[in-house]
């Protein structure tokens, strides 16, 4: 179904009438179904300058209640039906002066964090994104991410602010390649931003078909696997291939042109205009080439969570004395040319026989094998080694590979302690979270399902 701006404005006007009738000034909580009605409800809230908390559609009741309480929300609305539920007695809400949207983090480590976005930060991002990716009147932009994710600031809100055409992919069909292909080809998409999973699903379903209308392809969320990057030029012959890196807290921070023949995971690149970045190791700023935790400050950032305790841990004054930075929790290496490469999360490190090992770095090596479609490396508790590395590997269609061959591949690129000691080769795609990333917890919970081969190699 396609609607024009006139119809969308009518929907926004009706939604504004509904919202104007709700008493109080507390932020509104919206279950963010991705539809024209959902867009209208959010747009009406921002038009009335009443902050809105965008909740994931599939958020559990306990987490939802915790977020509603933290944000001081009195009313909960469903974006698909505009049904209104009064969920709590009026109470003091946090200070949200100047805030438009309240986004949430993925919640992969517990209850999602609430990230309040100031109106001026959102406006600055829209202006940057429109200029950077050439989004203006009539530009066709594909929206893959859920509406409550920060990716929608580019896909949806930048596009609508500049008079473009948004193509919405239904969230509950986000891993259906044939459906995605159909939606993607309904209009001549010019700009697409998505996690690598989307591009893999699209290309597998396209079966050699190309998309010459695309001029800006933006990969985000996680590193583009080398095997997938190599397929992009043929499928998108006229597209500029780029990777952007950021977080809900700071929005886009780094950008890098994807080299489809590099054979390695795509770097996160260099800071975009206006972004400040530090590499910090043991409390000291690393100058020049080196490794450490990445701290960033952007013109688009929140600057806080709603929870003061979380804010104190995540937002810190820089040793350089030039303001507040967000501690990303990502470990990076900066080369002599100033390009940053993601080494992994600080919470994705384990010790194997006393040696600190980065699980993401091992995954990058495993997925670099041409026969590997995707892989997850887990650190499993071990009485002797502390942890042992276990790789769950899905092969490319029609590829053949055994665990011995894969271990030999790893042995030429990794120290002995970083070579997975056990491997499962599986048939089915990995489970994914709503943001399109592999759900590591679900993979670990179902290790023994769908296994073709399991080899222990101590």
Give the model's pLDDT for residue 454.
Answer: 45
If one compares 346 and 78, the residue with the highest pLDDT of the two is 78
Give the model's pLDDT for residue 89.
Answer: 67
Yes or no: is domain 353-456 CATH 3.60.15.10?
no
For residue 271, what are the contacts with CB-CB under 8 A and spacing of at least 6? 253, 254, 277, 296
- Delimit the domains of the chain by residue range: 5-97, 121-344, 353-456
Give the model's pLDDT for residue 434.
Answer: 67
Q: Is 20 exposed, middle or buried, given 0-12, 13-18 or 19+ CB atoms closer than 10 A?
A: exposed
Confidence class for position 354, pLDDT limits 50, 70, 90: low
Give the model's pLDDT for residue 384.
Answer: 57
Q: 406 with 365: CB under 8 angstroms?
A: no
For residue 449, pLDDT over 60 is answered with no
Q: What is the mean pLDDT of the chain?
A: 87
Q: Tell me the mean pLDDT in the region 288-299.
A: 93
Q: Tell me the mean pLDDT in the region 414-432.
A: 84
For residue 150, what are the contacts with CB-CB under 8 A and spacing of at least 6? 103, 246, 247, 248, 251
Q: What is the DSSP letter of 358?
A: E
Give the model's pLDDT for residue 174.
Answer: 87
For residue 358, pLDDT over 90 is answered with no
| β-sheet bridge partners, residue 325 | 316
Look up the CATH number of domain 5-97.
3.40.50.980
Please report, for residues 79, 81, 119, 144, 249, the alpha-carbon distance to residue 38 in angstroms, rounded to integers and kept in the order given.
4, 9, 20, 15, 23
Give the model's pLDDT for residue 318.
Answer: 85
Confidence class for position 346, pLDDT limits 50, 70, 90: low
In order, the DSSP letters of 56-100 are: -TT--HHHHHHHHHHHT--EEEETTT--EEE-S---PPP--TTEE
Confidence class for position 118, pLDDT limits 50, 70, 90: very high
Q: Tell me the mean pLDDT in the region 367-384.
A: 84
Give the model's pLDDT for residue 458.
Answer: 35
Yes or no: is domain 121-344 CATH 3.40.50.12780?
yes
Give the model's pLDDT for residue 203.
Answer: 96
Pairing status of strand 28-31 against strand 52-55: parallel
Give residue 127's Cα distance to chain centre.
21
Q: Tell me the mean pLDDT in the region 85-94.
A: 77
Q: 301 with 316: CB under 8 angstroms?
A: no
Task: Select, from the ranges 231-245, 308-322, 398-412, the one with the highest average predicted confidence (pLDDT).
Answer: 231-245
**CA 300 to CA 224: how far, in whole Å?**
24
Q: Tell me the mean pLDDT in the region 59-73.
A: 85
For residue 291, pLDDT over 80 is answered with yes
Give the model's pLDDT for residue 453.
Answer: 43
If one compares 261 and 107, the residue with the highest pLDDT of the two is 261
Confidence class for position 455, pLDDT limits 50, 70, 90: very low
Q: Establish whether domains 5-97 and 353-456 are of one fold.
A: no
Q: Tell me the mean pLDDT in the region 171-179.
A: 90
Give the model's pLDDT for residue 353.
Answer: 63
Give the model's pLDDT for residue 224.
Answer: 84
Confidence class for position 191, pLDDT limits 50, 70, 90: very high
For residue 94, pLDDT over 90 is answered with no
Q: Tell me the mean pLDDT in the region 142-169.
A: 95
For residue 109, pLDDT over 80 is answered with no
Confidence class for position 232, pLDDT limits 50, 70, 90: very high
């Amino acid at each position: 179904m396609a609607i024009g701006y006139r119809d969308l404005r009518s929907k926004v006007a009706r939604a504004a009438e509904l919202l104007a009738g709700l008493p109080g000034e507390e932020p509104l909580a919206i279950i963010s179904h991705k539809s024209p009605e959902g867009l209208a409800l959010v747009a009406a809230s921002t038009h009335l300058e009443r902050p809105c908390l965008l909740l994931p559609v599939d958020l559990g009741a306990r987490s939802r209640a915790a977020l509603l309480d933290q944000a001081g929300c009195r009313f909960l609305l469903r974006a698909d039906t505009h049904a209104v539920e009064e969920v709590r007695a009026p109470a003091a809400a946090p200070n949200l002066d100047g805030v438009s949207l309240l986004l949430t983090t993925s919640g992969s480590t517990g209850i999602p964090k609430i990230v309040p976005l100031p109106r001026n930060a959102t406006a600055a991002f829209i202006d940057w994104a429109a200029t950077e990716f050439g989004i203006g009147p009539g530009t066709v932009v594909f929206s893959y991410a859920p509406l409550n994710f920060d990716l929608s600031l580019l896909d949806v809100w930048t596009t609508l602010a500049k008079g473009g055409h948004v193509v919405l992919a239904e969230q509950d069909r986000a891993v259906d390649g044939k459906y995605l292909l159909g939606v993607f080809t309904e209009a001549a998409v010019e700009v697409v931003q998505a996690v690598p999973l989307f591009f893999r699903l699209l290309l597998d379903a396209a079966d050699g078909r190309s998309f010459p209308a695309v001029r800006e392809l933006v990969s985000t969320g996680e590193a583009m696997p080398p095997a997938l990057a190599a397929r992009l030029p043929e499928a998108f012959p006229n597209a500029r291939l780029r990777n952007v890196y950021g977080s809900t807290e700071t929005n886009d921070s780094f950008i890098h042109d994807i080299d489809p023949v590099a054979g390695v995971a795509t770097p996160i690149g260099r800071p975009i205009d206006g972004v400040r970045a530090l590499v910090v190791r043991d409390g000291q700023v690393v100058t020049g080439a080196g490794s450490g935790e990445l701290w960033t400050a952007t013109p688009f950032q929140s600057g806080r969570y709603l929870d003061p305790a979380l804010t104190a841990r995540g937002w810190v004054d820089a040793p350089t004395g030039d303001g507040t930075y967000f501690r990303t929790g990502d470990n990076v290496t900066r080369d002599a040319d100033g390009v940053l490469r993601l080494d992994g999360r600080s919470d994705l490190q384990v010790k194997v026989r006393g040696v600190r090992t980065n699980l993401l770095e091992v995954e990058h090596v495993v997925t670099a094998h041409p026969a590997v479609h995707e892989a997850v490396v887990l650190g499993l508790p071990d009485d002797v080694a502390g942890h042992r590395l276990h790789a769950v590997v899905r092969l490319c269609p029609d590829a053949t590979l055994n665990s011995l061959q894969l271990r030999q591949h790893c042995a030429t690129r990794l120290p002995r302690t970083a070579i997975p000691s056990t491997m499962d080769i599986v048939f089915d795609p990995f489970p994914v979270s709503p943001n399109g990333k592999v759900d590591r917890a679900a993979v670990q919970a179902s290790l023994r399902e769908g296994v073709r081969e399991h080899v222990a190699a101590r």
